[in-house]
Structure 1
Amino acid sequence: MAVLVPGTLWNASSVAASGTVVCTFAAPAFFPRRPANPAGGDALAIWLIGPISALWVLLLVIAAFALFFSLSGRVHFAWAAGIVWLGVLLAAAASMRGATQIVEVAAGQIRRAELDDRANWVGSLKIAAMRFSSTELESELESLAERVRFASNEKVGITPPENKRITALIDEIRGVPARAPDEVKALIGQVDELLLTREQALQRARSFG
């Protein structure tokens, strides 16, 4: 490139723009390559292909514009494009981190039919908690997930009738809009009541078993 471009056009903006182009081409080597989730297979790795490809193309286009502006003498536009390139990179990294967490949890439930109800409930509550991140509901949902995790195991061949209702309530929690925290709190209270009833039913089943 140094041979093709006259020396008079090389300045701080053109060097920076060239750097963004080089970094963009080199970026795929540093993109995350997460191992396949044993429970969810390659779902996460497959999902990452789309966002990462789109991000790489967008960064490449912005870097190309930055280089074009710098070599055509429009230095201010070149610096603006460089700043946009950096902003897109940082914003995409932050948003992709949150989205990846949700996909990772969901991928772990791909064998849902083979898991017991408690494992399914915990996974669903963790996904719901991510939707209410940095709020009071996030900690309440995580606390509920812990209570579910340490709830009593079911006896072989015995499924408490409360299980279906708990599953339905947790599915409702996942579908509640983020703008309706009071509805989520009411559902959490109902789940807690059913967990207590379920615990008592399992204790009676063990005492008569």
Structure 2
Amino acid sequence: MMKTLMILAHSNIQNSLANKIIAEKISLLADTEVRNLGQLYPDFQIDIAAEQQALLQADLIIFQYPFHWYSVPGILKEWMDRVFLFGFAYGPDSQLRGKELLVSTTIGGPLNSYAAGGHNHFTTQELLRPLEQSANFTGMIFQPPLISHDMVYKAGGDNSREDIMQRAHEHAGQLCRLIQQKSAAFIQKDAPSAA
């Protein structure tokens, strides 16, 4: 059975609309663990051994977070700095080689603002290159990211709470289907062939 690990990085998950819904839906799937970094490490004191052990048990690793300043939230960057160590995450004895990494992120701005000539000048795929290279460097297999735009709510803004919640449920549904497809393929791959 394929094991999925979601690394949830959100500075205030209790007040989140989108990421809270996504993480709750994913936590209901079999063989899935959600590690809420903000809850586990409010002081940023990462338990390296516990996090490495969780990674070792996973086949699919999901980074779930709201896009912050064109990057990951600080807690996820700290987690990577502390956990992705030489001899574990990279080097001749990388223990992450062959695991899949999927970035699942919510972005406040509209899709058309993430383009050459757009408000943010770059596509989200371009801005996710550091994570793609981190996967490459550790020997993980970088999966096509799952990105949802227009995911910010401000009173009087363009998006209602209901709009964002609906898009969050759609995002979570896509993510659940993807995990289930990968799990089915994983089981089929490991099934003994009939002779």
- Normalized against structure 2, the TM-score is what? 0.31
- Normalized against structure 1, the TM-score is what? 0.29
Higher relative contact order (CA 8 A, sep 6+): 2
Q: Which has the higher strand share?
A: 2
Q: Which has the higher helix share?
A: 1
Larger radius of gyration: 1
